[in-house]
A and B are shown apart, each in its own frame.
Chain A
Amino acid sequence: MGEPLVELRGIAKGFGSGEARVQALSDIELTVEAGEVVGLRGPSGSGKSTLLNVVACILEPDAGLLRLAGETVWEGRWARGDLRALRREKIGFIFQFHNLLPFLNAIDNVALAMTLGGTPLAEARVRARALLDHLQVGKRAVAMPAKLSGGEAQRVAIARALANSPRIILADEPTAALDSERAQVVMELLRGIARDQRAAVLVVTHDDKIFGSFDRLVNLRDGRIEGETRPRMAAGAQ
């Protein structure tokens, strides 16, 4: 049993009040351990985005317990005042459309995430360059995002997510804008990060071509966990 990095116990979240109230999440019990890549799937309105926002600490739950990397983050109230610092320290984000800042080149997009945490710019650039090289986009370090291909931009975005060596990676449809081949490459990268950095990776996805890449695939419906499958175990993967 690995170290649990993401723990949700009895998490509930609703929107609105009275008859108009919508219960987006009910009694969510979910754990993602170090080294694990977990997929979160479900139809539109099933609560995937709400769940991701709760784990990302940008949406406050109504009830339950949220622990990230061993720290109780929410239990009736936020345990920390500065949630952005918490995100900066513990979570790396990967987006559907990479969300690179269009006015910074690839290396500075990665370095920025480090400087926000207080790393001097020169040192941040050296580390950013190493990350880009590791993700095989080092040659495109000074290219602006608009000049990068979809796959390259997503690799730069992954490098940015890894900039502060977070233990938790949250990915929102990271392969939706990529073809099958590039989608598999991105999933391999995420698996490598989980394995090498002992990170917990939680991916929200609709993309059935990558379902086989997850250690666990959690099904959400109407704000509840309906069940989960273990695609890689079923496929006999190591």
Chain B
Amino acid sequence: MNLALRDIRHKLGRFLLTCAGLGLLLGVALAMVGIYRGVVDEALSLARALQADLWVVEGGTRGPFAEASRIGGDTREAVARVAGVTAAGSVTFQNVEARAAGTATASSAGAVLNEAGRQRVGALLRIQVVGHEPDRPGGPPAIAEGRGISRGRLEMVLDRSAGQPVGAMVEMGGLRFRVVGLTARAVSSGGDPLGWITLRDAQDLQFRLNAPAARRAAAGGNAGTPQDTVNAVIARLSPHADAEAVAEQVRRWKHLGAMTAAAQEEVLTRSVVERARRQLGMFTGVLLLVSGVIVALIVYMLTMDKLREIATLKLIGAPDRTIIALVLQQALLLGGASFALATVLILSAKDVFPRRVLLGPEDIAAVAGVVLVICLLASVLGVRAALRIDPAKALG
């Protein structure tokens, strides 16, 4: 006869209500774990999307994400000639505040919905723009919808998270780009959608002066900033090449630095998102601690609520293991039901979060393990209280 289950069934409403409350709390803890994973994944998303084996950046920097890096546009040819390099491509990165400008056929500004009904015309979009050379390393990963950029200018491949359909027009720095293809889940370390345009468009976008500024520069004898500057060169290596050896070879040019893909990922996780990572990690820890205290209090209250029943059980000869099982099983059932609720809740709602919530089976299993430990520890308080109950209380 399982006393814990029978007691729960007797007060089912109260148990479910308690589970709902605890489930919400554990749901927040689970969401924090997902956000933590999401931040790390997003931080690596850009570097991984570009499928670089080697990052060639400005000498003495850890660019292009952790620090600014500027190198000449002709660096790519030099890198491509290094032994072990099979392909190289120049890339630029810049954060742009763009404006949705409708579709190619309905581009008038105003608050009208486009054909897809997903994006308001005139809405502001924050995009991390990657300038690249089509058909060279640095382009978008798999195209989920539409096509890649051909050599034509003013075309753009955008991530779906920007909410723009294929055919939409996006206005950036006075230039209007047509979205020709969409990627899935390609975002910057800040969670902004990535957009790929040609290197030339990107350089234009970055260095082109507006008309009054251009006139002033010309009057001052400064016809313009040299535009053939890139932030990095991405190199792909042959399968047999030693990435670190190739990097060392590139570093011999004193004005260049080189990082392997692994080193770049290390920089991204240890430098770019380190504080956010630690903040989220600590907050998750605090939430789990609070959950533990709350479970302990609930189990203690459930035990104290049964003071007379436990005293009676002891008086009629129930062994300690019966009493311990009653408390422990209730704590585990409470934790299990609450965790199940929390998991269903977060898995259903994770796509509503503005930034990626990434929860794999191993994360869910790990949190389940933590909840199990919390329930076991929390029930110690209840078990201790139950074992201290004087059987004489049943008589008084």
Decide whether A and B assemble into one complex.
yes
Interface positions, chain A 91-117, Cβ under 8 Å from B, are 93, 95, 99, 101-104, 108, 111-113, 115-117
Binding stretch for chain A, among B1-9, B41-49, B376-384: B1-9
Residue numbers in B under 8 Å from A85 (CB-CB): 317, 319
Q: What would be 11 A-B contacts, judged by CB atoms less than 8 Å apart? A: A49-B392, A49-B395, A52-B395, A59-B392, A85-B317, A88-B317, A93-B395, A99-B312, A102-B309, A117-B317, A172-B395
Q: Does B107 lie at the interface of the complex (its beta carbon under 8 Å from any beta carbon of A)?
A: no
Residues 33-82 (chain B) with a chain A CB within 8 angstroms? none
User: How far apart sit A199 and B396, CA to CA, in the bound complex (Å)?
Assistant: 24
User: Chain B interface (Cβ within 8 Å of chain A)?
Assistant: 1, 3, 6-7, 9-11, 308-309, 312-319, 322, 390-392, 394-396
In the bound complex, how far is the Cα of B311 from the Cα of A87, in angstroms? 13
Interface centre among A84, A116, A144 (most CB of B within 10 A): A84
User: In the bound complex, how far is the Cα of B1 from the Cα of A115, in angstroms?
Assistant: 8
**How distant is the Cα of A74 from the Cα of B312 in the complex, in angstroms?**
22
Residues in chain A within 8 A of chain B (CB atoms): 49, 52-53, 56, 58-59, 84-85, 87-89, 93, 95, 99, 101-104, 108, 111-113, 115-117, 121, 144, 160, 172
A95 lies within 8 A of B395 (CB): yes
A218 CA to B108 CA, complexed, in Å: 104
Known: A101-B309, A103-B10. A112 touches B1 (CB 8 A): yes
Chain A neighbourhood of B308, CB < 8 A: 99
- Bound together, the chains give a CA A155 to CA B391 distance in angstroms of 22
Contact indicator A116/B316 (Cβ below 8 Å): yes
Residue of A nearest to B317 (CB): A88
Identity of the chain A residue whose Cβ is nearest the Cβ of B322 in the assembled complex? A116
What chain A residues lie within 8 Å of B10 (beta carbons)? 102-103, 144
- Nearest-Cβ distance from residue B282 to partner chain A, whole angstroms: 41
Chain A contacts for B322, CB-based, 8 A: 116
Contact A113 B316 (CB under 8 A): yes
Most central of B7, B9, B317 by chain A CB within 10 Å = B317
- Contact A87 B316, beta carbon cutoff 8 Å: yes
> Contact: A84 with B9, CB < 8 Å?
no
* Top 7 A-B residue pairs of the complex, sorted by shortest distance between their CB atoms: A88-B317, A103-B10, A103-B7, A99-B312, A84-B317, A103-B6, A87-B317
**Docked pose: A25 CA to B395 CA in angstroms:** 18
Residue of B nearest to A117 (CB): B317
A104 touches B394 (CB 8 A): no
Which residues on the A side are within 8 Å of B7 (C-beta)?
103
A53 touches B392 (CB 8 A): yes
CA of A102 to CA of B395 in the docked complex: distance in angstroms? 17
Q: Is the CB of B390 within 8 A of A88?
A: no
Cα A89 to Cα B316 with chains together (Å): 9
The answer for the CA separation of A144 and B318 in the assembled complex, in Å, is 21
CB distance from B388 to the nearest CB of A (A): 14
List residues of chain B with CB within 8 A of the CB of A88: 316-317
Contact A111:B1 (CB < 8 A) given known A58-B390, A87-B316, A93-B315: yes
Complex interface: chain B residues within 8 A of A101 (CB): 3, 309, 312-313
Contacts of A53 in B (CB 8 A): 392, 395
Give bound CA distance, A93 to B314, whole Å: 11
List A contacts of B11 (CB < 8 A): 103
Cα A104 to Cα B9 with chains together (Å): 10
> In the complex, what distance in Å separates the CA atom of A233 from the CA atom of B90?
114
| Bound-complex Cα distance A121 to B2 (A) | 11
A117: B residues at CB distance < 8 A? 317
Pick the residue among A58, A108, A111, A144 that contacts B315 (CB under 8 A): A58
Chain A residues with Cβ under 8 A from B394's Cβ? 93, 95, 99
**Bound complex: CA of A108 vs CA of B394, how far in Å?**
19
Instruction: Please state if B395 and A56 are interface contacts (CB–CB under 8 Å).
Output: yes
Contacts of B317 in A (CB 8 A): 84-85, 87-89, 113, 116-117
User: Within the assembled complex, what's the spacing in Å between the Cα atoms of A199 and B235?
Assistant: 95
Q: For B309, what are the chain A residues with a Cβ–Cβ distance below 8 Å?
A: 99, 101-103
The answer to whether B396 touches A49, judged by C-beta atoms less than 8 angstroms apart, is yes
Q: Is there an interface contact between B319 and A84, defined as CB atoms closer than 8 Å?
A: yes
Measured CB to CB, the closest approach of chain A to B272, in angstroms, equals: 56
Known: A58-B390, A87-B317, A108-B1. 13 other contacts (CB 8 A): A49-B392, A53-B392, A53-B395, A84-B317, A84-B319, A89-B317, A93-B316, A99-B309, A99-B394, A101-B313, A103-B3, A104-B6, A160-B316
Cβ of B313: which chain A residues have Cβ within 8 Å of it? 101
B9 vs chain A, min Cβ distance (A):
7
- Please report the C-alpha to C-alpha distance between residue A99 and residue B393 in the assembled complex, in whole angstroms: 11
| Inter-chain contacts of A108 with B (CB < 8 A) | 1, 6
| A184–chain B nearest beta-carbon distance, Å | 23
Assembled-state Cα–Cα distance A161/B394 (Å): 14
In the complex, which residue of chain A has the Cβ closest to the Cβ of B309? A101
For residue A84, which residue of chain B has the nearest CB?
A: B317
Inside 8 A of A115's CB, which chain B residues have their CB? 1
Chain B residue nearest to A115 (CB atoms) is B1
Nearest residue (CB) in A for B390 is A58
B392–A116 touching, CB < 8 Å: no
CB distance from A113 to the nearest CB of B (A): 5
Closest to B4 in A: A103
How near does chain A come to B188, taking the closest CB pair, in angstroms?
Answer: 56
Give bound CA distance, A86 to B151, whole Å. 92
Residues of chain B with a CB closer than 8 A to A89's CB:
317
Q: Are B392 and A58 in contact (CB under 8 A)?
A: yes
- Residue among B7, B11, B394 with the highest chain A CB neighbour number at 10 A: B394
